[in-house]
Amino acid sequence: DSGVTQTPKHLITATGQRVTLRCSPRSGDLSVYWYQQSLDQGLQFLIQYYNGEERAKGNILERFSAQQFPDLHSELNLSSLELGDSALYFCASSVSGTTDTQYFGPGTRLTVL
């Protein structure tokens, strides 16, 4: 158990809908990262927040957005969902803003029908 929690575990929704994924980092960690893992694209970095501020952006679509709240939990919002958005979404956390020691959560499996 990494200490990172993610909810929900599974999410099934329809195209065009909007969903919110939630992540709570390990106690003491200030950075939260979001990743998408699909069979054809592998693990892709989406975005990083550090202590409430956006720190780095990866391959995140404009339909996706994230935020980190004062209690350091983070939410990833996915809108206008498409079939291709079906994937595992992982959250990871680390103490600092660098990425050498990230700890991953169990993931949320999103299925878009």
Partner 1 sequence: QKEVEQDPGPLSVPEGAIVSLNCTYSNSAFQYFMWYRQYSRKGPELLMYTYSSGNKEDGRFTAQVDKSSKYISLFIRDSQPSDSATYLCAMVYNNNDMRFGAGTRLTVKP
Site residues, partner 1 (CB under 8 A): 2, 4, 33, 42-45, 48, 55-56, 58, 90, 92, 97-107
Q: Cβ distance 86 to 38 under 8 Å? A: yes
Alpha-carbon torsion 51, 5, 16, 58, what sign? positive
Would you say 7 or 101 has its CB closer to partner 1? 101
CB of 35 to partner 1, least distance (A): 8
CA–centroid distance for 16 within its chain: 19
Phi, psi of 20 (to 5 degrees): -125, 125
CB of 109 to partner 1, least distance (A): 8
Would you say 19 or 91 has its CB closer to partner 1? 91
